[in-house]
Amino acid sequence: MRIAINGMGRIGRLLFRRLIAHENIEVVAVNDTMPIDNLAYLLKYDSIYGTFEKEICIENDCIKVYNKKIAVFQSADPLQLPWKKLNIDVVLECTGSFTSGAGATKHVEAGAKKVLLSTTGAEDIPLLIYGFNQTRLTPETNIISPGGCMTNCCIHVLYILNSISIKSAHINILHSYTSRQELVDAPNKNFRRGRAAAESIIPVEIDLQKSLERLMPGMQNKIAASSIRVPVANGAMAIFTIQLNDEVSAVHINTIFQKAAGNSYTNILDYTEEPLVSLDIKGNTNSCIIDGTQTSVMGNHIKVVAWFDNEYGFTGRMIDWLELLNKTN
C-alpha cells in the first residue's frame, strides 16, 4: 500500500515514525507548509517519544531515512498535490483542515484512491471506529473518519457497560495540553485556550457527546461530556460517572472489562490493577486501559476510569485501518 501524509503535526509525524519501516505500507510522500529542514528536525527529535533511532537527512526535495526517499511537498491546496502521478492508495489527512466531505474529496480529485482522516469528520463522512463498527466499511467508502482519541477510548467503555443498561453517563476527560492552546498567556477567541497551558488546569469545550450519539443512537440524550486540560505534555484519563438501571458490584464491573480485554477487545482495550500514573501509559497502543483500582460503586451509580495515550493509542488505530484497507483492496 502506497500512502501519503498531509499535515505533519503531532499525529502526522508520529504516523511517519511508526510507518516508515512498516512491512506492507510504504510512505511515499508527505505534505506540509513548514520548511523541509524544520520538518526533518522535528521528525528526528521529539520531546515526548525521544530521538528517532535512524538517521534522517534531506536530499534535494526529499527526506531520506532507512535508505528510502520520501517526497516532500509544501502545498496548502490538496488539489495541487501529485497523488495520481505517485499512485497513492491512501492519504492520511492530518491537517485538521479538510474534514468535510468536500474538503477531503480534494485528495480523491487529486488522484488518491482513499482518504483516512485523523479526527472526527463532518456528518457527511462515515464515522467508523476500529474495534467497534469497522465491519460497516464498504468498497465504495472513499473517505473514512476514524474518530479521535477520546471517541476511540469512550465508545468501547460505553458499549460494554450498556450491556447492563445505562440510564445516563457523564464523561470527564483529563487531557494533556495540545497545540491549540497557548504556551504563555495570549489573545485567543476562546479565552481559556489563550491561557498558559503548562501553568493551569483549563476547562475546554468538546463535541465528544455528538460523536458518541452518532455511534450509539440509543444513547441519545443520555450522555454528557466535558474535558479539562492539565499541565502534562502527553497522556489522558477518562472518568465515567454512570447511572445504571440496576445495582451492581465493583467486582462485577471489573470482571466484565477483564474478560473483554482478554477476548474480543485484545489490542483495543486493556485492563490493569497496577498503581499507574499518566506517564506510565506513554507509548501504550490500546485505545483505553481500564484502571480497576479506581472502579467504585454506590448502588446503581458507578465510576470507571480509563487511561489512554492520546497520540500513540490513536495512531495505533489509524495503522489498524491502513492494514485493514490493505487486506480488503
Residues acting as catalytic residues: 149
CB 150 within 8 A of CB 206: yes
Q: Provide the 3-class DSSP secondary structure of residue 71.
A: strand
Nearest to 92 by CA among 328, 319, 329: 319
CB 229 within 8 A of CB 176: yes
Q: Count how many residues are written for the chain.
A: 329
CB 305 within 8 A of CB 320: no
DSSP 27-56: EEEEE-SS-HHHHHHHHHEETTTEE-SS--
Q: 132-141 long-range contacts, Cβ below 8 Å, gap at least 24?
A: 132/156, 132/159, 132/215, 133/215, 134/321, 134/324, 137/324, 137/328, 139/328, 141/114
Hey, how many other C-beta atoms are within 10 angstroms of the C-beta on 246?
Answer: 9
Q: What single DSSP character describes residue 182?
A: B
- Give me 175's grid cell: 487531557
Give the integer Cα–Cα distance in Å for 102 and 119: 16
Hey, how many other C-beta atoms are within 10 angstroms of the C-beta on 180?
Answer: 12
